[in-house]
Structure 1
Amino acid sequence: MYVSHLSLHDFRSYAAVEVPLEAGVTAFVGRNGQGKTNLVEAIDYLSRLQSHRVATDAPLIRAGASQAVVRAAVVRDGRTAVLEAELNAGRANRARVNRSVLPRTRDLVGLVRTVVFSPEDLTLVKGDPSDRRRFLDDLLVLRTPRLAGTRSDYDRVLKQRNSLLKTAGFARGGARDAALATLSVWDDHLARVGGELLAARLALVDALHPYVGKAYATVARGAGRDDAAISYRCSLDTEDATTPESLGQALLAEVERRRGDELDRGISLVGPHRDELVLELGHGGADRLPVKGYASHGESWSFALALRLASYDLLRADGDDPILVLDDVFAELDTERRTQLAELVADAEQVLVTAAVAEDVPAALRGARYRVAAGEVTLEHTGVGTPIADREEEAP
């Protein structure tokens, strides 16, 4: 799978830009603030309908515009499809495949798959539990796009339930009884959707674990496969629950047990939104300690890289190479880690690299190169290193 053409209209800093691409390695080189990350961010947005840089869509629409369009021609198994996301300020977004509008925007998710390495990856290790939950859920949706609906439904139920908890906590008499009766309905919704999301997360962590150990051993100096481990810490007892249904029942029982605490605090205290992806390090698996708070800066970077590499390997094992995006990551790594990462991903079907200077791109990833400056994207070299004078290619 690879993107053969990217077209942007009023996305970030670009009023309009057309970028022909090929399989293999492509580097976007330019000083900070020139728009090189905006290009790879757009491709990642098509994959997940989310940015890896900001939490909402508003900053993605160019200042003064009311709409942004991201369009890409994606080649898979020799066949090309044109994917398009239309971002609208103040109204619903729309998505298209081959110019046909999709019934739901989220149906676009997973049609192109990306794994992004970026300086922000350090938050996977040093950030809040919400950062690690987001990492899991993004990977879940890439592997199983229908779970985008489950994730959205859970967020909606949680928001409604928290509102009811606040209302019931302050209400008295009949108003309180009515709020509690309504709350029990949303408890059932939380258990059903939460059980499905929890089962998917547990299965994902189980599948991802061996890839993390292998990846960490590859990027960390002197490490073995048993040195890095991930596990899932749940907000309820799941020892005897393995299916979405049984996990939902366990969630419902815990909600009922903690009803008083939830009413006092006005928030939902049980469910996947309270869980944690635990990251641990220990030589040979002995005396493992949490990465956060105990690991050195280098070990933290190695673990963050291992999580991304493991994601890539797991998606690849599913039978389809994701597009790799290395967004200004080499500037954050020492020479040894640069070389190791480059050699590990060089054989991917498509690798997109951003860098401030061409010298930051390791030799293993030398390919096509674009110069990005002042809103202009200019092809300087093809994948075989030949300087380019002009090249025109029809936009999708």
Structure 2
Amino acid sequence: MHVQHLLLHNFRSYADVDVKLEPGVTAFIGRNGQGKTNLVEAIDYLSRLGSHRVATDAPLIRAGAEQAIVRAVVVKDQRPATLEVELNQGRANRARINRSALPRPRELLGLVRTVLFSPEDLTLVKGDPSDRRRFLDDLLVLRTPRLAGVRADYERVLKQRNSLLKSAGGRRGSSTSREGAVATLSVWDTHLVDLGAEILEQRLDLVDALAPYVGKAYAAVARGASRDDAEIDYRGSIELPGGPGERPSREQLRQVLLLELEARRRDELDRGVTLVGPHRDDLTLTLGNGELRLPVKGYASHGESWSFALALKIASYDLLRSEGDDPILILDDVFAELDTERRQQLAALVAGAEQVLITAAVGEDVPEALAGTRFTVAEGEVTRVD
């Protein structure tokens, strides 16, 4: 899979830009603030309908414009398809395939798959649990696009349930309001545990599948490390049923979630927030050998943290690659953060990808092993270097 042609209209800093791409390695070279990251951000947006830099779509639309367009010709199995997203200020976004409108933008998910690594990904190690949950869920959707709908439905139910809990007034609410809330909560409990159990089941399966690739990738990018040094595990807000090495069924997860909701009912009414569910879970990251294992957050050096974050993304790429087409690999301004040895190790890992897109402020930061097509990006112009 690769992008053959990228066209942007009123996206970020670009009024209009038209770039022809090829398989293999492409590097966009330019000083900070010239717009090189905007190009790869647009391609990544088509993959997951979100930005790795901002939480909403509004900053993606050029200042003063009402609409932005991201259009790309994507080639899969030698068959091209034109994918397009129209971002609108104050209105719903629209999506098209080969100029035909789609019922919902999320129908695009799965048609192009990207794995992007950027300096912001250090939050996977040093950030909040929400950063790691987002990482898992984005990868889930890349593997199984229909889960985007499950994820959206869960967030909707969670919002409604939290609103109901708050309307009960916490400790200030009357006994009547609490009784009414409890009666209505049972309906939302059913929706929450049905959707939550599916998300939890899928996350557990994903962590099982991803874990071996993380160990392998960490050994490849961290100096002197072995495959057993880096481990990931899932930490739920509930005690998972089953013994060591056993994975509970969706129905078992559903029952445990329901029982825990009932047990925490009083706390939830007092605090006005849902305290049980996959929205409160975390992905644990540890380093070490044998009995001595420590969490990466708070204990790892800066270099170890960078290596672990990079290993998570390389592992994601390897997992997706093992299950289907090569994803498009995007390395956004990462080589400046790596020493020479780590640059060479990363280059050796990714050189065989069908398409690698790189951004760098200085051309010399890109290893020779990743020599390929180069563009300079300056003052809104993207120019190929022959």
Please give the range of the TM-score, normalised by the shorter of the 2 chains. Answer: over 0.9
How far 1:173 sits from its partner (Å)? 4.2
Equivalent residue for 2:17?
A: 17
C-alpha separation between the residues in 1 aligned to 2:18 and 2:249? 47
Instruction: Kindly indicate whether the alpha-carbon contact (under 8 Å) linking 1:9 and 1:15 is maintained by their aligned counterparts in 2.
Output: yes
Q: Deviations over 1:200-253 (max 9, x none)?
A: 000000000000001111111111111100000011121237222221121111
Equivalent residue for 1:91?
A: 91
How far 1:177 sits from its partner (Å)? 2.4
Equivalent residue for 1:199?
A: 201
C-alpha separation between the residues in 2 aligned to 1:245 and 1:102? 34
Equivalent residue for 1:185?
A: 187
Whether 1:212 aligns to 2:217 is no
Q: Deviations over 1:273-295 (max 9, x none)?
A: 11010000003x43111000011
**Aligned counterpart for 2:325 among listed residues 320, 333, 341:** 320
Q: Deviations over 1:106-162 (max 9, x none)?
A: 111121000001001111000111000000000000000000011111111111111
How far 1:179 sits from its partner (Å)? 2.2
Give the superposed CA RMSD.
1.0
5+ residue gaps in structure 1?
Answer: 381-386, 388-396
Equivalent residue for 2:137?
A: 137
C-alpha separation between the residues in 2 aligned to 1:302 and 1:116? 15
C-alpha separation between the residues in 1 aligned to 2:207 and 2:135? 11
TM-score by length of structure 2 reads: 0.97
Instruction: Kindly indicate whether the alpha-carbon contact (under 8 Å) linking 1:28 and 1:370 is maintained by their aligned counterparts in 2.
Output: yes
Equivalent residue for 1:252?
A: 258
SS in 1 for 2:6: strand
Instruction: Kindly indicate whether the alpha-carbon contact (under 8 Å) linking 1:196 and 1:245 is maintained by their aligned counterparts in 2.
Output: no
Equivalent residue for 1:238?
A: 240
**Aligned counterpart for 2:353 among listed residues 342, 348, 351:** 348
- Residue identity matched to 2:258: L
How far 1:339 sits from its partner (Å)? 0.8
How far 1:183 sits from its partner (Å)? 1.4
5+ residue gaps in structure 2?
Answer: none
C-alpha separation between the residues in 2 aligned to 1:363 and 1:233? 41
Counting aligned pairs with the same residue, the percent is 75
Equivalent residue for 2:339?
A: 334
- Residue identity matched to 1:235: S
Instruction: Kindly indicate whether the alpha-carbon contact (under 8 Å) linking 2:114 and 2:327 is maintained by their aligned counterparts in 1.
Output: yes
SS in 2 for 1:214: helix
- Count matched residues: 380
TM-score by length of structure 1 reads: 0.94
C-alpha separation between the residues in 2 aligned to 1:3 and 1:120? 24
How far 1:175 sits from its partner (Å)? 3.3
Whether 1:267 aligns to 2:273 is yes
How far 1:366 sits from its partner (Å)? 0.8
- Residue identity matched to 1:227: D
Whether 1:282 aligns to 2:285 is no
- Residue identity matched to 1:254: E
Equivalent residue for 2:80?
A: 80
Q: Deviations over 1:254-302 (max 9, x none)?
A: 010000111111111110011010000003x431110000111111111
Q: How does 1:285-324 map to 2 (within 5 A)?
A: 285-324=290-329
- Residue identity matched to 1:238: L
